[in-house]
Amino acid sequence: MAMFGYMTDTETVEPIDTVEVESEGDDLESLLFHFLDDWLYKFSADLFFVPREVKVLHIDKMRFRMRSIGWGEEFRLPKHPQGTEVKAITYSAMQIHEDKPEIFVIIDI
């Protein structure tokens, strides 16, 4: 949700539609990368969908697959303030701390 907070004020988003995303990776870092990249694609290219909330439904840590759902709506400038464009997700300094749980990801803006 932090990524979408850069792009718009998520408080202006109404949860009127749902979108499901399935992501795959080769390890936990690539799974996290693809999860964020798949959601970025839904916002910037596929549906122009901006979620108000995203929930991870299932994580398979053995096969590195994840299924998630987002509640939101189509991004529209008259309703949603335009923030900073997120161009890409990066692996640079990516950290996953499973014991806390905490993650750190740098995004290109």
Q: Which residue has the tokens 């799974």?
A: 31
The whole-number pLDDT of residue 47 equals: 83
Q: Alpha carbon 58 to chain centroid distance?
A: 15
* pLDDT tens digit at each of 109 positions of the chain: 999 999 999 999 999 999 999 999 999 999 999 999 999 999 998 789 999 999 999 999 999 999 999 999 999 999 999 999 999 999 999 999 989 889 999 999 9
In angstroms, how far is the first alpha carbon of the chain from the final one? 16
The whole-number pLDDT of residue 82 equals: 94
Pairs from 87-92 (Cβ < 8 Å, separation ≥ 24): 88/37, 88/40, 89/33, 89/36, 89/37, 89/40, 91/29, 91/33
The whole-number pLDDT of residue 42 equals: 96
Q: Encoding tokens for residue 81? A: 């303030």
The whole-number pLDDT of residue 52 equals: 97
Domains of the chain: 1-108 (3.55.10.10)
